[in-house]
Chains A and B, each alone.
Chain A
Amino acid sequence: MILRLKDIHISFTNAHNETFDLLRGVNLDVEKGKITALIGGNGTGKTTLFNIISGFEKNYKGKIEFEGHEVNFKRMPAYKISMEGIGRLFQDGQLMSGLTLMENMKLASNDTTGEIPFVSLLFPNRYKQAELKKEAQAREILTRIFGENNKYLSLLNQDASAFSYGEQRLLSLARMLMGGDRLLLLDEPTSGVHPQYINTIAQIIREMKEREGLTVLLIEHNMHFVREVADTCAYLDEGVIAEVGPTNVVLGNQKVRNSYLGL
């Protein structure tokens, strides 16, 4: 088990001082090296759960175990959680505009050479070697995913804002392969993406699992996509994980079909 969520609760208070319990005791085990899909209606707390795991939401109750150890996520800033090996794809945050595609890729590398100011000036050769290594890694990842002589290899110096939403989605997924993450949280990877890109996204996610040995926890509303990529499926309803198990079993469950899929 790479991630274990134990009895996670979170409440919010609105402007009228009314308290609303969003998560009411979420228990979820995410198996290492598998793809787990988290499904559920809008506003059920899926993204909030991701915010808790990635350190952007601290006001929760419950325990989180990562790689067999209980970790106090409440006290850890988000960047430290990322350094522990938990990566995240946001619903809206894509590539960083103002930076080129190559710079975006290099930024995600876990090689920290040159991060301290002026180190690159004091040890230029070491810095240059590290940069060349990152550039080679970025080219290798893009070639592996999009094929030999793909167009992105010739657009490495293009500003990220020049790419379409769908392309940015694909490239930000590819960027996740640059770092040393072991658990990836993907928030609606196919949301707003043209159907022609969805197969590529599925391919990248499968690649993350099979070739890189990564664990993926994803939020998704596209049930065809979930059925295609996810090994396990967890259904979040009324603040708890109402159903969890193999994807086909959960998606075939009458309760899930009635309450979520409306079938």
Chain B
Amino acid sequence: MIGQFIVNGVITGVIYSLMAIGFALVYNTTRIFHIAVAGIYVFAAYMFWVAKWYLNCSFSNAFMLAVLLTMGLSLLTELAVYRPLKNRNASTNVMMIASIGLMTIIINLIAMFFGNETKVIENTIMMPYHRGNIIITQPQLFQALVGGMVILVFMFILLWTKWGLKLRALSTDETLFETLGFDTNQARSYIFLASGALVASASCLTVYDVGLDPNMGMSVTINAIVAMIIGGVGKFNTCIIGGIVLGVLQSLTVYEFASNWQNAVTFLVLLIFLFLRPQGIAGYKQRTV
């Protein structure tokens, strides 16, 4: 029985990881506390739903369309809101308030167009897969495989390409990055596109399983932020560790107590890390030079 909960937790952790990397991409490189990802996450879900139900796209086509549209919206948040504020030397606090405003606008617009009721992507009965005592549903399998593949592709780009090197460099020092001859604005545009792709992947894979409503973005964003912090702020691959640990912990909480204790455990874990290991599980204490 506990094995089933651990498997469920790992799969949820993959989704948290995707979302956490999407958030960390923006936060680590621009220092913007990008709360608007909650709105972008909801937008992706609705685009997936529209593609599936109105355009009659297959799962893969609807997924790709939603990812592309979400990448566009993510880039738009940078070009229309963050970059003009940056050019006016706005502080990180102002950026965060703007991000909250942006999230509210996106969610309200979606609620206005599509209504507040919960919608479903797939309403047929799908046969689950059995492996011993472990049961994996079809949406869970998609979450594990597609989510895992997106993470692997991202890690490959991050660690083995020049673009990944630039991304890690920008997250260290923007001024030095520019002094070495790199266009910060162009790099930021790519970052917002990549962030949009990751958030959209997390969103489509989740709503395929549990359906969608306009208010679902915030809780997953908070979990992603917690995953990023407990994994280790400042790095990208640590988000995967943080996401999986958080997913498994939440799942074990359900196993041991009840699902309504999940949030309490999440924030308890966050507090423990902030007090005892602020650099996170795989973060490192930097040498003070």
Q: Which residue numbers of A lie inside 8 Å of B, CB to CB?
A: 54, 56, 77-79, 82-83, 87-88, 90, 93-94, 96-99, 103, 106-108, 110, 113-121, 127, 159, 161-162, 164-165, 168, 179
Contact = CB atoms under 8 A, between A and B. Distances in A.
By CB atoms of chain B within 10 A, which of A88, A115, A159 has the most? A115
A115 B166 contact: yes
12 contacts: A77-B183, A79-B181, A79-B182, A82-B180, A93-B175, A93-B176, A103-B165, A110-B181, A115-B162, A116-B163, A120-B163, A161-B287
A179 B165 contact: no
B271 interface: no
Contact of B172 (A99, A116, A179): A99
Contacts of B162: 113-115, 119-120, 127
By CB atoms of chain A within 10 A, which of B180, B284, B286 has the most? B180
B56 interface: no
A93 B183 contact: no
Given A82-B180, A98-B171, 5 more contacts: A83-B181, A94-B289, A96-B172, A99-B169, A161-B289
B52 interface: no
B179 A117 contact: no
Interface string B257-289: 000000000000000000000000000101101
Interface string B166-203: 10110111011111111111000010000000000000
Contacts of B182: 79
Nearest to B182: A79
A124 to B, nearest CB: 10
Interface of B: 157, 160-163, 165-166, 168-169, 171-173, 175-185, 190, 234-235, 284, 286-287, 289
Contact of A96 (B169, B178, B181, B183): B169
Given A120-B162, A165-B289, A98 B168 contact: yes
A99 B179 contact: no
Nearest to A114: B162
A112 B184 CA distance: 15
B157 A98 contact: no
By CB atoms of chain A within 10 A, which of B180, B181, B284 has the most? B181
Nearest to A89: B179
Given A93-B176, A99-B172, A164-B289, A79 B165 contact: no
Contacts of B178: 77-79, 82
A90 B181 CA distance: 15
Given A98-B235, A103-B165, A164-B289, A78 B179 contact: yes
A108 B180 CA distance: 6
B68 to A, nearest CB: 15
Contact of B168 (A99, A113, A115, A117): A99
Contacts of A93: 173, 175-176, 179
Contacts of B177: 96
Contacts of A56: 175
Nearest to A168: B289
B203 to A, nearest CB: 22
B287 to A, nearest CB: 5
A56 B89 CA distance: 13
A62 to B, nearest CB: 22
